[in-house]
Amino acid sequence: MSDPVSRTILLLDIEKYSDRDDIEQAYLRRMLYGITDRILESAGIDGTLRRRADRGDSVMELIDAGASMTGLLRALLSELPVELRAVNRMASASAQIRLRAVLATGYVTIDELDGWVGTHLNLACRLLDGELLRAALRERPDDFALCVSETVHSGIVRHDYPGIPKDEFHAVTMGSKNGPLRAWLHGPVPRGVSSDTCDAPDDTGHRAEPPGPTRAEPSSVNFLGGSPSFGGSFVNGDQHGVSGGVVHGDVHLGGNTREHGERK
C-alpha cells in the first residue's frame, strides 16, 4: 500500500434517490456527474487533478492538494446552486435533483486494488450522512446544503476571502457512533438545532456529547471487490468507476438504507 497523500475531499449526494424509478435514477446520475464536472472545471480543476469514485447516487472526488481550495469553495457557493436551478427548471417534479455536499481535507491512501483508505475520508462520509445536513437540505429552497470540515473553515472560510463570506457559516457538532464531529454548516442551522451543537441521537439511540474535539477513529474506508457495505447496510445503485468494496465503520454513503431504518 502506498503512503497517504494530502487531498481535498469533495462528496456530493442526491436526496431521495432510491424513491425514483430506474429511468429517473439514470437521469439523476447523468445530471449529478455533469454538474460535478462543470463545477470542478470552473474552479480550474481538470481531470489530471482529480480522481472519482462513483457510488450510484453519490460521487466522491479526491482532488490534488495543490488545486485552489478558494476557487472550489467559491464555485460550490455561487455556481452550483445556479447549475441546480437550470437543471431543475427543465425537469419534471419526479426528476428534481437536490444535493448534500461535504468539503474536507485530509490524508488518503490508494492501495494496489484502487481502494481508498483514510480516517479523514471516514469523517467526511459521516458528515455527509449526518442528520443535521439532511435536515438542513429539507429546509433549503435552493436545493443545496453544504458542510465543511474544521480544517477547511480554519484555513479558508474564517479569513473571509471574496466570495466566501465567513458569517454565512455556523459551527455545528454532529453526533456519531464514535463521538461528536465538529464542522461548519453553510446557511441557517435547521430549526430546533443549536448553532453550535446537534443533539440528534446516533444509531445507538444516545445523544451527542457537548461540543469538543473529534476523537480519532481506527476504522478506514476501503473499496475492494464486491458490493459496498457501510456499517452492515448495503449501498445499492450503479457502482461504475470504482472497484466496489467494503467500508469498515458506520459510514452510510449513496445507499437506500438509513439509520433507524428510514429511507432517504
Least confident of 75-79, 116-120, 125-129, 188-192: 116-120
User: What cell was used for 262?
Assistant: 428510514
pTM reported for the whole predicted model:
0.72
pLDDT, tens digit, 9 for 90 and up, residues 193-245:
654 444 444 333 334 343 344 444 433 444 334 444 333 333 444 444 433 44
Instruction: Give the distance between the most distant pair of CA atoms in the chain.
Output: 46
pLDDT, tens digit, 9 for 90 and up, residues 22-36:
988 889 999 999 999
Pick the CATH number of 5-261 from 3.40.1350.10, 3.30.70.1230, 1.20.120.350, 3.30.470.10: 3.30.70.1230
DSSP H helix total and E strand total for the chain: 6, 12
Q: Where are the domains of the chain?
A: 5-261
Please tell me the distance from the alpha carbon of residue 123 to that of residue 186, in angstroms, as a whole number: 18
User: What cell was used for 183?
Assistant: 464542522
Strand 99-110 and strand 144-149: the pairing is: parallel
Half-sphere exposure of 91 (CA within 13 A, CB side): 18
